[in-house]
Structure 1
Amino acid sequence: MTLTSPLRHPDTRDAALMTRRAWWLLGLNLLIPGTAQLLAGSRRWGRFAVGSTFTLWAVALAAGILFVAARPVALTIATNVIVLWLAQAALVFYALLWLVTTLNAFTLLRLVRTAPAARGWLAALTAVTIVVATGGAAYAAYLTGVGRDALGAVFAGGGIVEPIDGRYTVLLLGGDAGPDRLGLRPDSITLASIDASSGAVSLIGIPRNLYNAPVPPESPLYEAWPNGFDCGDDCLISYLYPWAEERPELYPTAAATGSSPGIEAMRDAVEGVTGLTVQFTVLIDMAGFEDLIDALGGVVIDVEEPITLGINGGPVVGEIAAGEQRMDGETALWYARSRYNLTDFDRMEHQRDVQEAMLRQLDPATVLTRFESIAGASSDLVRTDVPQSMIGVFTDLAVRGRELPLRRLELVPPTIDNVQPDYALARTLVAEAVAPLPTPTPTPDS
C-alpha cells in the first residue's frame, strides 16, 4: 500500500480512518488549495490549483523582497492603476479558486462514512474556510478596487518628478466656501518643503490676510499686478483664488492638469512670497476635513491653553481643555477654525498643529486598518495635481521623516507684518527653514 492510497482509495468501512482522512483533506486544502484534489480527486485540477497558489505566493514574496530592498519602487508599482487592476483580478480569481477547491474537497470527504460525532465539526471547518479564506481574498480584492478608484479620483496623471535643489514642495490649501462668501477662498495656506533624501519636512505658514503678494514676472498675473496684488483690503492673498477663478483664460490648461485657475494663481503668489518653486498643489475641502480625521481615528494634539469654541460676536458652543487631547473630526475642525477671542495668526498655529498631528499619526498600520474609510474620505475632499506615480516616493519619504523634527515657520507679525510685508526678509527666513538639517558630528571614541 502506498502512502497516498488511504487518501485516494480509503477503506470506506473504517469510520475512524475516514474521519482522519477528512480532517487531513480539509486541513491541507485550507493551507494550500488544490492539495485535496492532488491526493484524493482530480490530479489535473489539483496541479492547476496548487500551481496557481504557489505562483501567487511567489509574487507576494517577490513584492515583499522588493519592498525591503527598494521601498519607493515597490510603492510606486503597487499604486499603479494597471497593477492594481491585475492585483484585483488575481485576488478575485484566487477567491473563486479557493471556494471551488473547498467545496470539491468537501465532496471528497464522503461525509456519511465519517464518524457521526465529527460530521458537524467537518462541516463547520468547511464553512470557516469559505468565510475566512475565500471571504478574505474577496475582501482584499474589494479593498484593492476601492484603493484604485480613490487614487484615480484624487491624483493626476504623469510620471516621476525630480526634486528641485534636493527638495519637493507641496502647496496645501484649505478651501473654505462658507454661505457668507462669494466663491471659495483658501482659509489655510501652507507650503510643505520635503527633503528628498531624509523625508524631513518644513511647514511654512502664510497668512490668508497677507497684503501685496508679489507674483513672478513669468506669471499670467504679472500683467495685471506687476507691483504685486496691491489693491488694498480687497487684495489679500486669499482673494487671488476667486479673482483668478473669474478669469479662466489666464490659466487655460489648468483643468487638464488636475488644477484650476484659482489654485494656479495661489501657486504663483506663494512662489513670489517664498522664493521657492511650487511643484505640487493640494486643495482640501475644509467642510469635509472632519471626515478624514474621523477616518484616521482622530488626532492627538497637545493643547497649550483652553480653547473657547465659537465665532467672535456669536454664541459659545463649547471648549477644548488644555493638555493632550484626542480629537475627532468635528473637534479638530473647531480647533483649527475657532475665532472666539483669537486672531487669524492664532488660528494658523492651530491649523499647523492639526497638520503636524496628521503627519505624525498617519502611519502604515493606521492606513491598513482604516484603508476603506480613509480612501472614501480622501476622494471626497482632496483635489491635487500630484501624479499618481509620485505616491510611492512621497509615502516612502513620509515613513522616513516621521521621526525627524518637523520645522515650522509662520510668516506672521511681529516677524513679518502682514499689511506691509518685508518680502526680502520672508524669503531669507524661508531659505533658512528649508536648509538641510545639520549632520550630527560623530563623537570620537575615548
Structure 2
Amino acid sequence: MGAHSASGGGRRRSGVHREGPAPESSPRRGRHAAAAPVDPVAETPVAETPVAKAPLEAPVAESLAATVESLAADAVAEQNSLVDALLTEAPAVPAPVLDEVIDLPPRVSRRRKPVQTVARALRWTIAGALIPGLAHIAAGRRRVGLVMAGSFATLLVAVAFVLLAVPRTRLVELSVQPTELELMIALFSALGLIWVLVVLSSWSVHKPEQLRAGQRALATGVVAALSIGVAAPFAMGARTAYVQLDLLNTIFDNPTTTTQMAMPALPVKQQPQATPGFGPPTGFFANKPRVNVLLLGGDGGDNRIGVRTDTMILASIDTQTGRTVLTSLPRNMMKVQFPTGSEMARRFPNGFNDMLNAVYLYASNDKSVMPGAKYPGGELLKQTWAWTIGQPVDYFILVNLDGFRDIVDAFGGVTINVERRLPIGGSHDANGRVLEQPHNYLEPGRRKLNGYEALWYGRSRFDSDDYSRMNRQRCLLGAIARQASPMKVLTNFSELAGAAKRIILTDIPRQALPDLLELAGKAKSARVTSLTFVRSAAFDPANPNFAYIQEQVRLALDEAARTRYAQGSGPATTPATPATGTPTGTPTGTPAGTKTGTKTGTKTAVKGAAAPTPTPTPSSAATQLDKVCGY
C-alpha cells in the first residue's frame, strides 16, 4: 500500500508539476487555459486533454453565432416594420418636428432682429423719427410699422388739404375763434406727445442687448435730442394758439356779454358817402360799403392809458377793395360839438370848452355822460368824430404810445424815410422858452428805427407843430402796416401779443374779427389816401368850420369809391356823388371868397363841384400816403 500510495502520490505530483504551470507559461493557450475546470468534490483541477477540448468549443461557437444572427434578424425586421408603417400609415403618424430631425441654431424672435452696433440702432431711430414706422418695419414689426407709416401719410395729406383746399378766409376765421383755438391746443399737444412716443419706440425695437456706460450716455443724449426736436414744432403751435386765445379773451369783447352802443343819427345834411347795398353780400359787414375805425394814441404813462388822445386818425376802409382813407384832426381843435339831445350837448351847447384830445379823458373821469358804455371815453370820442366829420364811426382802437415801442421792437424795427433832423427830448414852457434841450437826434435819410426811435419819430415836438407830428404819425402807421408781413407776425407773435395786451384797448367784437382781418389784408396792398386838416384860410382849429370838414371828408371818400367803380369793382352803375349840402358853388359854412383847400405837406387846391366824368378828379385836399411819406 505504501508503495501504491507513493506511486500514486508521485504520479499526482508529476501531474501537478506537468499540468500546473502550463496556463501561466504558454501564451498559445489563450484565455481559456487560465481557468481550468475544477472538480467540485476533489477541488483539484481536472486535466484537459486535446481529445476532450474539441467537443466543448464547437457548440459554444455555434451558439454565439446563432445568437448574433438572431439579434440581427430581429433588428432588421423591426426596422422594416417601422418603415412599412411610415409608408402605409403616414397620415396617422404625426410628422417629426424639424428641430428634432435637424440640429438647428436657437430661434430668433421675429418681433425684434438683433442689432450689432449702437450706431446702427441710432440711425434707425433717427429714420423712425423722420418717417414714423420705418424703424419698426426694419426691426421686423411690419404690422406696427405700416400702421405708423399710414397714419403719418394721412396726417401729411390732411395738412396739404387744409393749406391748399381750405379758403384762406376760413383759416383766418379759425385763428380768432376761441373754440377752434382750444381744439388746436389739444390737437398740437396730442401730436407732440405721440411723436415723442414714436421716437422712444423706434429706439426700443433696435436697442442692443448690451450697452457700455459711454454708449448708454450717447444713446440717451441722441434720443432725448430727437424727442425734443420732434416735439418743439407742436409745442410752438400749441403755445401760439394759447397766446392767441388769451389775447382774444383779454382785448376783444365777447358779443354774448357786451352790447355795442348805437351810433346816434347824423343830421340830414350829413349823409354817408354811399348807399347800402354796395358792400359785400354776406359776412359781418354785409351791405356795408366802408368800415370806419378810429385809431387813437394815448400820450400817457403807466396805468394812464388814453389820458389824452394826442393822436387821432380815422381809417375808412372799402369793404370790397381795401382802399383806405386816413383822416386826421388836430389834437388842439376847439369847440367840438356833440350829437343833438346828448348829455354832452346839454352841458356844452356852444361846443366843448377844451381841446379835442381831452374828450376821451372827460368821459373817462365822468362816466355819467355815457351811461351803460363799457368804454365811456372811446364811445364819446367816436360820437364826437361822427358828428364832426359827418360819417359814422364803427369802432375805436386805443394804443398807449409809451408802449408803442414794444410793438415796433417785436416787429424787428420799422424802416422810415426821415425827412429832416428830428430832436429826441427837449421841452418848452407855455411862453415858448426852452426848458430842456434835446439829448439826441434822429438823422435824416432812409433808416430802420427801433421802438424807441420810432416813438420819438412820431411824437417829437421840440421844433415841430402838431400838424407835422400828425403827418409823421400817419407815415409811421402806414410803414408798419406795409412791413408787417405774416412771417414777421408769426415769428414774433408772442411778443406782439404780450405788448398788445398791455397797451391796446378796443371795442371791436370777436365776431367781427374774421371779416376785419380779411379786410386788413386787402388794405395792405391797396392805395391809401391821406386827409389832414391843418391851419389855413379855410380851417382854423380854434374856430373850426364843420361844414368844410364834412365836405372834405365826403370828397375824399367819394374819390376812393369812384376809383373802385372805375376799376370794375362793385355794382355796374356808378353811384352819383353824395350831396354836399349845396348843389354848386361854395360849401355851406365856408366863407365866401375863400379858396377851399388845405396843405398836407404840399399845396393842394380844391375846386368846386364839377360835372361827373368817366374818370373824375375830385376837389379834395387828400393826397396819396406814398407821396407824403416817400415810401
The question of a shared fold, defined as TM-score above 0.5 by the shorter chain, is answered with: yes
Q: What's the CA shift for 1:36?
A: 4.3
Partner Cα separation in structure 1 for residue 321 and residue 293 of structure 2: 16
Question: Which residue matches 2:376?
Answer: 261
RMSD in angstroms over aligned alpha carbons? 3.3
Partner Cα separation in structure 2 for residue 48 and residue 146 of structure 1: 34
1:351 aligns with 2:473: yes
Question: Which string of whole-angstrom CA distances, capped at 9 and with x for unpartnered residues, describes residues 174-196 of structure 1?
Answer: 112359x9981111111011111
The residue type equivalent to 1:438 in the other structure is T
The residue type equivalent to 2:501 in the other structure is S
Question: Which string of whole-angstrom CA distances, capped at 9 and with x for unpartnered residues, describes residues 215-264 of structure 1?
Answer: 222644233234432x3xxx211221222123212323222xxxx11111
CA contact 1:111–1:119 (8 Å) conserved in 2: no
Q: What's the CA shift for 1:161?
A: 3.4
Task: Count residues with an aligned counterpart.
Answer: 423
CA contact 1:23–1:122 (8 Å) conserved in 2: no
Question: Which residue matches 1:3?
Answer: none
Partner Cα separation in structure 2 for residue 47 and residue 65 of structure 1: 27
Higher RCO (C-alpha 8 Å, min separation 6): 1
Deviates more, 1:430-439 or 1:149-158: 430-439
**Structure 2 CA distance for partners of 1:163 and 1:356, relative to 1, 3 Å:** farther
Q: For 1:360, which of 470, 482, 498 is the aligned residue?
A: 482
CA contact 1:19–1:118 (8 Å) conserved in 2: no
**Structure 2 CA distance for partners of 1:165 and 1:140, relative to 1, 3 Å:** closer
Matches within 5 A, 1:219-368: 219-229=342-352, 231=353, 235-255=354-374, 260-309=375-424, 310-312=426-428, 313=434, 314-368=436-490
Question: Which residue matches 1:74?
Answer: 171
Q: What's the CA shift for 1:207?
A: 0.8
Unpaired runs of 5+ residues, structure 1, are: 1-5
Question: Which string of whole-angstrom CA distances, capped at 9 and with x for unpartnered residues, describes residues 64-121 of structure 1?
Answer: 1355xx322320122211111110111111111111221122111123479x999988
TM-score normalised according to structure 1 size? 0.84
CA contact 2:129–2:230 (8 Å) conserved in 1: no
Partner Cα separation in structure 2 for residue 434 and residue 126 of structure 1: 62
The residue type equivalent to 1:206 in the other structure is L
Q: What's the CA shift for 1:8?
A: 5.0
Question: Which residue matches 1:23?
Answer: 123
Question: Which residue matches 2:625?
Answer: none
CA contact 1:74–1:392 (8 Å) conserved in 2: no
CA contact 1:363–1:399 (8 Å) conserved in 2: no
Question: Which residue matches 2:208?
Answer: 111
1:137 aligns with 2:252: no
Q: What's the CA shift for 1:284?
A: 0.7
**Structure 2 CA distance for partners of 1:56 and 1:251, relative to 1, 3 Å:** farther
The residue type equivalent to 1:63 in the other structure is V
**Structure 2 CA distance for partners of 1:126 and 1:190, relative to 1, 3 Å:** same
Question: Which string of whole-angstrom CA distances, capped at 9 and with x for unpartnered residues, describes residues 326-375 of structure 1?
Answer: 11111111111111111111111111111111111111011012111111
Partner Cα separation in structure 2 for residue 284 and residue 214 of structure 1: 24
Partner Cα separation in structure 1 for residue 420 and residue 153 of structure 2: 58
CA contact 1:311–1:338 (8 Å) conserved in 2: no
CA contact 1:155–1:386 (8 Å) conserved in 2: yes
1:401 aligns with 2:523: yes
Q: What's the CA shift for 1:389?
A: 2.9
Question: Which residue matches 1:93?
Answer: 190
**Structure 2 CA distance for partners of 1:218 and 1:366, relative to 1, 3 Å:** farther
Partner Cα separation in structure 2 for residue 441 and residue 328 of structure 1: 38
Give the secondary-structure state (helix, strand or coil) at the position aligned to 2:333: coil
CA contact 1:8–1:39 (8 Å) conserved in 2: no
Give the secondary-structure state (helix, strand or coil) at the position aligned to 1:316: coil
Q: Which has the larger radius of gyration?
A: 2
The residue type equivalent to 1:15 in the other structure is Q
Q: What's the CA shift for 1:437?
A: 5.5
Give the secondary-structure state (helix, strand or coil) at the position aligned to 2:223: helix
Partner Cα separation in structure 2 for residue 7 and residue 413 of structure 1: 91
Partner Cα separation in structure 2 for residue 183 and residue 323 of structure 1: 32
Partner Cα separation in structure 2 for residue 388 and residue 58 of structure 1: 31
The residue type equivalent to 1:216 in the other structure is P
**Structure 2 CA distance for partners of 1:53 and 1:156, relative to 1, 3 Å:** farther
Question: Which residue matches 2:296?
Answer: 173
TM-score normalised according to structure 2 size? 0.61
Q: For 1:158, which of 231, 255, 271 is the aligned residue?
A: 255
Identity percentage of aligned residues:
28
1:64 aligns with 2:142: no
Q: For 2:496, which of 362, 371, 374 is the aligned residue?
A: 374
Unpaired runs of 5+ residues, structure 2, are: 1-107, 257-282, 429-433, 569-631
Q: For 2:553, which of 427, 430, 434 is the aligned residue?
A: 430
